[in-house]
Structure 1
């Protein structure tokens, strides 16, 4: 029988890459993934009911002694594309690099998000094989297009709604076990997302009549667009401490050195100062205290000697709790202050509701962290910076959380959606223990 690590590596080798343009997707890789999961986890598939939803998402039900108040664990099958030449190893080779505690599996999806998905499978397989039956039903929801449209997750939510199922606890990918994220705080913290920012894209368009680049007008479309982008950059959204961030800082305050400890214990008075300091303390800290906006895709003329008849930019905006798509759009319009620049909302969703960081659901997560990852790890609320499939599940549960039970260094976090994504073997194996503990208490 193969080991957990070898099963993990086999599933990492399947290139389940998602693309916004679905004609580019190799659906055979997803079918192979489904087949491999069934083959590698026979006890799980003997005990759990399995459904394929929206073509390639997987929804499992593990019947417990009581069908009420189920636990729902989420992960996603798909991974983002790779640029092969940027990697130091085959991105789908799942090679183990290093030895001992430094041994790490290098592969696209090692953390995002097959690390969690396979750890969940391992925990369930072991418990089923050991004869365990959960006290309440358990659902596993594995989406197939989280990195693009999220249609699989939405379809699974519709299935649950149609059946009147409201999970008592939903857990998806999210914050990890980290250290040093908060300036001056070195204690390891389990960052459990209780909410996530909204996400939207604005399309900015400047137009002109076009012509030959040898006779440009005084203010061409490209210059007008550049000015608009510059105005957005020079007038960022204001900083503020939203409730999940306030709670995070209050939780870690006892572990902070002076004078930071006093600042964090008196946020009612020092909050504006703390937010202003965090905004200057790096990209992650800036993103938890303000709505962010950045130009990403740019397009102009089709040739280097042609004037652009239209110059376009995509403006990606991540909305802080309390902000809205409508409000952010109007603010960008005021900041650009140019009626000639067209502003179109391409897509957008408001920030998620905030789940409570007190009560039974929260205690279950915190206890699983303590038992599986160590008493020294402090569990704290956290505002998730990126969007995930979990936002769709707020329609069926008031207790939706986002946590990846792996201790990740800054370099490992930076490799997400980049080259050389990797996870240390020992760290991944400890993550299985977290899911096993959470399931055992269900």
Structure 2
């Protein structure tokens, strides 16, 4: 019965379209208010027994006082979602529909994976532990950001608040890696990949300003062509691939569970890396992204008429900066690759890589043991997360910042993140609630 209610709760909250947009004025903030009100109704003990406050109008902070405040922890998630145009979806993106039976039962909708599933699983776990009368050993903070998908101002303001109050969490757990079993085919056991760091996320703009004119008499290199050349040169100059200490730890862990020559190469990565790195880069885009800074053209703009040469054309480049690099090094590479001073490069949104959290000590040991108990037979391994999360702000106040979503995600499911047909196995969602319940009992 409680499992059925937990599913109904997630359905109800997925149906509230809390879409955050780059332009705050275009955001339907009434939906965010509606979401917060729904939480009050669905989780009465969380709201009556925990201290609750709102930050920047919409981000939520709950404090669950423990027997001590010396070593608090933070469970972090966000409830805003990216837009979901209805075209091409098998089921409406904000209907929260169910399909299938048994182990194949699915819950559909924007936010199931990213990241309302985590928000609701945390609250389900806390509500049930409150009902059972649990008093945690240490303070636990539940922090739910409202604009992670855009600017992350909510999470940043929450950190400001905690910092002013002298709160120094020993562990922060946010979204990130998951339970996967299809990343490395030589390893049969499922893996729990835990992000101990994340790449920097920055936005660059390439701009070409040039005289326009009638399209019937174009110059040899119009502005659009110059920009196209710049994009092609940049795309043809990938950043160098390197194996960080975290990447080496990941490969060694995999090597302990892989046989044959592959296992040998992985276990001895300290001296086989010159051979391994090129192999991994060619193996898949996912692995290649783990080993280098990446660049992707995401937006193009220019022109005002079909028969007029544009006088300004621009391209937006999304870069994810490897933890062994920096924004400065990234700009040097981009300038060198493009090699054309008539293409102006500006930084729209700067972002440096995060610090690397330890894979030893109390926080890591607690997280690892909880994963191993909750998901028997799973290999726990650190990795560097490619995407940016709200957790990057929390590195200001905590060394133990980890990124792990306790849901099983096959590749076909992961491919729906920020895409059509986002969905999650109901069994994975319920397993995630059990994980948070176990973790809370250990904090």
Question: Is the contact made by 1:204 and 1:315 (CA closer than 8 Å) also made in structure 2?
Answer: yes
Structure 2 residue matching 1:299: 3-state secondary structure: strand
CA deviation after TM superposition for structure 1 residue 180, in Å: 2.1
Paired position in structure 2 for 1:404: 405
Paired position in structure 2 for 1:12: 14
2:254 equivalent among 252, 266, 270: 252
2:137 equivalent among 135, 138, 143: 135
CA deviation after TM superposition for structure 1 residue 389, in Å: 0.4
2: CA distance, partners of 1:38 / 1:372: 29
* Mapping for residues 164-179 of structure 1, pairs under 5 Å: 164-179=166-181
CA deviation after TM superposition for structure 1 residue 153, in Å: 0.2
* Mapping for residues 26-45 of structure 1, pairs under 5 Å: 26-45=28-47
CA deviation after TM superposition for structure 1 residue 183, in Å: 4.2
* C-alpha distance after superposition, 1:61-97 (max 9, x if no partner): 0000001110100000100001101211111111001
Gaps of 5+ in 2: none
1:56 paired with 2:58, answer: yes
* Mapping for residues 74-85 of structure 1, pairs under 5 Å: 74-85=76-87
1:263 paired with 2:265, answer: yes
2: CA distance, partners of 1:347 / 1:163: 29
Q: CA RMSD, aligned part only?
A: 1.0
* Mapping for residues 176-255 of structure 1, pairs under 5 Å: 176-255=178-257
1: CA distance, partners of 2:289 / 2:190: 21
CA deviation after TM superposition for structure 1 residue 304, in Å: 1.6
* Mapping for residues 152-163 of structure 1, pairs under 5 Å: 152-163=154-165
1: CA distance, partners of 2:363 / 2:254: 20
Question: Is the contact made by 1:73 and 1:141 (CA closer than 8 Å) also made in structure 2?
Answer: yes
CA deviation after TM superposition for structure 1 residue 271, in Å: 1.1
* C-alpha distance after superposition, 1:16-54 (max 9, x if no partner): 001001111111111111011011111111211000001
Paired position in structure 2 for 1:433: 434
1: CA distance, partners of 2:280 / 2:53: 45
- For these two proteins, the number of residue pairs brought into alignment is 441
Question: Is the contact made by 1:240 and 1:272 (CA closer than 8 Å) also made in structure 2?
Answer: no
2: CA distance, partners of 1:273 / 1:228: 31
1:379 paired with 2:383, answer: no
Question: Is the contact made by 1:241 and 1:272 (CA closer than 8 Å) also made in structure 2?
Answer: no
CA deviation after TM superposition for structure 1 residue 266, in Å: 1.3
Structure 1 residue matching 2:91: 3-state secondary structure: coil
2: CA distance, partners of 1:392 / 1:102: 37
Question: Is the contact made by 2:248 and 2:270 (CA closer than 8 Å) also made in structure 1?
Answer: no
* C-alpha distance after superposition, 1:340-382 (max 9, x if no partner): 11111111111000001111111111111112121x0011101
Question: Is the contact made by 2:107 and 2:425 (CA closer than 8 Å) also made in structure 1?
Answer: yes
Paired position in structure 2 for 1:394: 395
* TM-score for the superposition, normalised by structure 2: 0.98
1:97 paired with 2:99, answer: yes
Gaps of 5+ in 1: none
Paired position in structure 1 for 2:329: 327
CA deviation after TM superposition for structure 1 residue 162, in Å: 0.3
Paired position in structure 2 for 1:68: 70
Paired position in structure 2 for 1:416: 417
Question: Is the contact made by 1:292 and 1:317 (CA closer than 8 Å) also made in structure 2?
Answer: yes
Name whichever of 301-310 and 182-191 sits farther off: 182-191
Structure 2 residue matching 1:288: 3-state secondary structure: helix
Structure 2 residue matching 1:59: 3-state secondary structure: strand
Structure 1 residue matching 2:318: 3-state secondary structure: strand
Question: Is the contact made by 1:240 and 1:271 (CA closer than 8 Å) also made in structure 2?
Answer: no
Question: Is the contact made by 2:182 and 2:410 (CA closer than 8 Å) also made in structure 1?
Answer: no
CA deviation after TM superposition for structure 1 residue 272, in Å: 2.5
* TM-score for the superposition, normalised by structure 1: 0.98
Structure 1 residue matching 2:283: 3-state secondary structure: coil
Structure 1 residue matching 2:228: 3-state secondary structure: helix
